[in-house]
Amino acid sequence: MRCAYCAASGTPLNIDHIHPRSRGGTDRISNLTLACVPCNEAKSNRPIKEFLAGKPKLLATVLAQANAPLRGAAAVQSTRWALWRELDARLPKHVASGGRTKWNRTRNRLPKTHAFDALAVGKLDAITETVSAVLVARCTGRGTHTRTRTDKHGFPRLRLPRQKRYFAYATGDLVTAVVPTGKKQGTHTGRVAVRATGSFNITTAHGIVQGISHRHVRLLQRADGYAYTFKQESCRPYAVASPEGGISTAVT
Ligand SMILES: [Zn+2]
């Protein structure tokens, strides 16, 4: 945690109203940020635009950060009741609050992760089993319609080909390349970026390997707009004997 205005860390931080309360600012998260005591006092009840008048870049950053976490929340707010009404006709269901999820998760002594939160949703007595690995599907897109790259002034810099596939491979395919000799010798596995020349780039877990000939490349999975990886859940509950002699579940 750092001060939003001077980036100081390791100092007590106050909750600062970006638009001061005395001037009609609300307590909503979009109006709150963290500030160290000197910055908080220096800003006092001045509007943020006045306080950061000489620092337009910082002003833009603070305002952008204040709005960022709300985008996801806004999407959920506007779709959840529509989703609920649609499901109403089709499936047996019940709704529960986010507070209940947290209560379920904390009394089962699970750490806060997406997977454990999903496990703890709704009415349940106890969580007896947890997951050890989670499949993460990340949107990667299927390419771009852009046919030119532009320079910083917006003028065309580079023409992109209409063709998507070269030597039977498309950018985004999951491939493995076994290079027998030379500088790039070894096995490289990852997403490929194709070139008309047949000299491909492969994005591996260890970085991008450039200039791999299409001859060495073997297809593992076609790009379908998503990237799939398994993420290990770091914490696994295990049973320990409690002082009373019963069995309780603890998490490392
Ligand atoms: Zn500060």
pLDDT in tens, the chain (252 residues): 889 899 888 888 889 999 898 888 888 888 888 899 999 999 988 888 889 988 889 998 888 887 776 677 777 888 888 888 888 878 888 888 889 999 999 998 888 888 888 888 888 888 888 778 888 888 988 888 888 989 999 999 988 888 899 999 999 999 999 999 999 999 999 999 999 999 999 999 889 999 999 999 999 999 999 988 888 876 555 443 333 333 334 343
Residues 3 and 85 in one domain: yes
Residue 133 lies in a domain: no
Residue finishing a domain among 90, 109, 140: 90
Q: Which domain holds residue 161?
A: 148-229
In the reported structure, the alpha carbon of residue 39 is separated from the centroid of ligand 1 by a whole-number distance in angstroms of: 4
Q: Do 86 and 3 share a structural domain?
A: yes
pLDDT of residue 1: 80
**CA 42 / ligand 1 centre spacing (Å):** 9
**DSSP secondary structure string for all residues of 102-148:** HHHHHHTT----HHHHHHT-SS-S------SEEEEEEE--S-----E
CA–CA dist 137, 157 (Å, integer): 34
Q: Do both 157 and 85 map to the same domain?
A: no
Three-state SS at 11: coil
Asked, for residue 104, whether it belongs to a domain, the answer is no
C-alpha pair distances (Å), 101 with each of 14, 68, 105, 147, 235: 29, 24, 6, 47, 18
Residue 13 CA to ligand 1 center (angstroms) comes to 8
Ligand 1 (single-atom ion) residues, CB below 5 Å:
3, 5-6, 8, 36, 39
Could you say which of 46, 71, 90 is where a domain stops? 90
Select from 90, 116, 132 the last residue of a domain. 90
Q: Is residue 196 part of a domain?
A: yes
Residues 84 and 15 in one domain: yes
Same domain, 80 and 155: no
CATH code, domain with 13: 1.10.30
What is the model's pLDDT at position 247?
A: 38
State how far the Cα of 231 lies from the Cα of 239, in Å rounded to an integer. Answer: 23
Q: How far apart are CA 34 and CA 65, in angstroms?
A: 11
Token digits of residue 220: 């593992």
Q: How far is the CA of 15 from the centre of ligand 1 (A)?
A: 12
Q: How many whole angstroms from 65 Cα to the centroid of ligand 1?
A: 16
Domain assignment present for 219:
yes
C-alpha angle 132-137-138 in degrees, rounded to nearest 5: 130
Q: Which tokens is 114 given?
A: 């997406």
Ligand 1 centroid to residue 20 C-alpha, Å: 16
Number of domains in the chain: 2
Asked if residue 202 is part of any domain, the answer here is yes
Asked whether residue 211 is assigned to any structural domain, the reply reads: yes
Residue 105 belongs to some domain of the structure: no
Pick from 160, 221, 148: nearest CA to 191:
221
- CA 14 to centroid of ligand 1, rounded, Å: 10
Do residues 49 and 61 lie in contact, with contact meaning Cβ atoms separated by under 8 Å?
no
Whole-number Å distance, alpha carbon 232 to ligand 1 midpoint, is 37
Q: What is the CATH number of the domain that holds 193?
A: 2.30.30
Q: Which residue has the tokens 């810099």?
A: 157
- Asked if residue 238 belongs to a domain, the reply is no
Query: Cβ-count burial of 59 within 10 angstroms (0-12 exposed, 13-18 middle, 19+ buried)?
Result: middle
Q: How far is the CA of 9 from the centre of ligand 1 (A)?
A: 9
Q: What token pair was written down for 31? A: 């109006």
Which residue, 22, 11, 3, 14, is CA-closest to 62?
3
Distance CA(191)–CA(177), nearest Å, equals 11
